[in-house]
Structure 1
Amino acid sequence: MRVAVAITLTDDERKTLMKWSRGRSTPMRLVKRAQVVLLAAAGKTNLEISHEVGMARRPVGVWRKRFAEGRLAAIEKDAPRPGRPSPERDSLTRRILEATTQTKPKHATHWSTRSLAAELGVSDARVARVWRAHGLQPHRVKTFKVSNDPDFAEKVHDVVGLYLNPPEHAIVLSVDEKTQVQALDRTQRGLPIHPGRCGTMTHDYKRHGTTTLFAALNVAEGVVIDKCMKRHRHQEWIAFLKEIDARTPAGLDLHLIADNYATHKHPKVQSWLKRHPRFHMHFIPTSSSWLNLVERFFAELTNKRLRRGTFRSVPQLIKAIKQYVEDHNNHAKGLRWTATAEEILAKVRRARATLDKVTSD
């Protein structure tokens, strides 16, 4: 009479197997294998395991034995199948890859598994397997733009130099405006989050006006200087510069990193800056908002406070923004920039070369 291999698990192995057996994104075949090993370690027979897991008794014995011989690695990956790979399968994989990366459907912007399967005369499951194996996701797209600023390299060196080696007796501030922040009120109350159900909110809303948030992020400390105003003309920009002047130590120079918005370069702004020599403006290249660190703060504000917020008036919106900024400043940490100017320029050169090649093709 055959006796099943006894299974004894270490704490780490048990922890990993429990994770696999319960993981929502874990492949079902691995879930079942993990369950087999856990039940075997609990002293169950192969017949009992087969009934509990819903797997035939023979494969239960196979995976039990395979774990005993090779531990976790033996059940995580499928064993290589005997025989040579099918030439037809390799040819079909190449056809799917070429069609996905080099062609587009006639009446759509990108392929789906079903549309490409119909075009090639294969199953959509086959297309999905090839896409997963090669990391292809035609339904997703990322935005990008290579800056055409003629002074790109010079500006990158200037701004990155401030991040990596800030001057002594000075404060480096990343500044910008978040314009048209809307006070939105939902037409109905949403349902709260509940086990097994996410929170809800209506797709439509009522508008109650807008405000513009001016913000200056102290790169070394992470603290934000904020001011909400109705508009974002050069008058408001000068008012915000005065706010920065009043809320920073008088004996320190101020190096402001800003984008190329025309308001920041208005003649009256230039005149004001000449009368306040401790202010030094540094402009990022065009189409390079990723160089302005205050954009990270704006993104966090939007995701954590504004996007799901309900505001019945502009004053209520401004109050919520100020409360968020106050809490942010109470837990602020300095931001650490790591990329050098040369690394950034090399990456941009590669992107531009790829873009030129695609354009020429």
Structure 2
Amino acid sequence: MKNTKFILCLSCVVLSMASCRKDDSFIPEDQEQLPAEPSVELAGFYLLNEANMGSNKSSLDYYDFNSGNYRKNIYSQANPNATLGLGDVGNDIKIYGSRLYVVVNMSDKVEVLAAKTAKRIGQINIPNCRYITFYKSKAYITAYDGYVSVVDTASLKEEKQIAVGKQPEEMAIVGTKLYVANSGGYNYPNYERTVSVIDLNTLSETKRIDVAINLHRLKADQYGDLYVTSRGDYYNIPSNLFVIDTKTDQVKKTFNLAASNIAIDKDEAYLYSVEWNNNTGSNAISYAKINVKDETIISKSFITDGTDQSIVIPYGIAVNPVNSDVYVTDAKDYVSPGTLYCFDKAGKKKFSVTTGDIPAHLVFLNK
């Protein structure tokens, strides 16, 4: 795992990103014009750029579907008094209600912003935080110290810590159960190999499901199944993709397919793999598309026009829930600005745009 891991117009009092009004106060290098993608349901999306660990260069971009404006580094522009910027290594981003939550791993915090303006509301302090999800009035945040933090979304105060496995990563909720992928990423070669199950009624861990070593991504489909990725050991055990049946809380399928990240849209899952091997000193990159209804591989690549050959390091993936466009980010050399690619459902490139350093996490904003 590589843990690398607006300027506001002075006369403007309220800035709404959902507006299609052109804002001439943005300097040219902080804005690009892309194709407009009007949507009844969606205003646009945020892209969180991780940036390299120690650089304190995490940043936030925004694409307005109505105007086609792609705005860069909007956190600093919306919050000019935040002299330290967004922080060090942006690791996750989610919208819940009217708020945008940005997990900043090495800065040990979750920034809480107004979803429509990116203006800062508050901060949640969680050491070595990784991922965030929500259930009712609570936020659940994984911390590498081996627990899930339970935070009240009204007060932004931590109410409880639920012990799980070592170095927990991504989470998913099915019914009243919270599933947590445990990695043990600091413990080579003795990685963790379980998914913790937390009862959201009692806020306690009830069991651990044995899956595979060094787990990372965890996504739920519409049928009550979980797709979980294993990063392997970077030597002889390759990465893999597993399916957990949440009715039985057991692994029911092993794909034997390299997987670093996965996005699920209705009956289809899109995934890529960047698999580093210490034996060869190189990455193996691959893509795939899966039918989650019958759990079969549809294609060994969802990119059909050859653009995959231009992507150096696929690093993030998301699917537009309305039109099923697929977004893939390219981290390139990890120190230069990256690229965001948009593909239609047929796998053909619609556009690309330059982002901040190490673009990684994307979330859609409703109107």
Considering the TM-score relative to the shorter chain, is it more than 0.5?
no
Q: Which structure: larger Rg?
A: 1
- Larger RCO of the pair (alpha carbons < 8 Å, separation 6+): 1
When normalised by structure 2's length, the TM-score is 0.21
When normalised by structure 1's length, the TM-score is 0.22
Greater fraction of residues in helix: 1
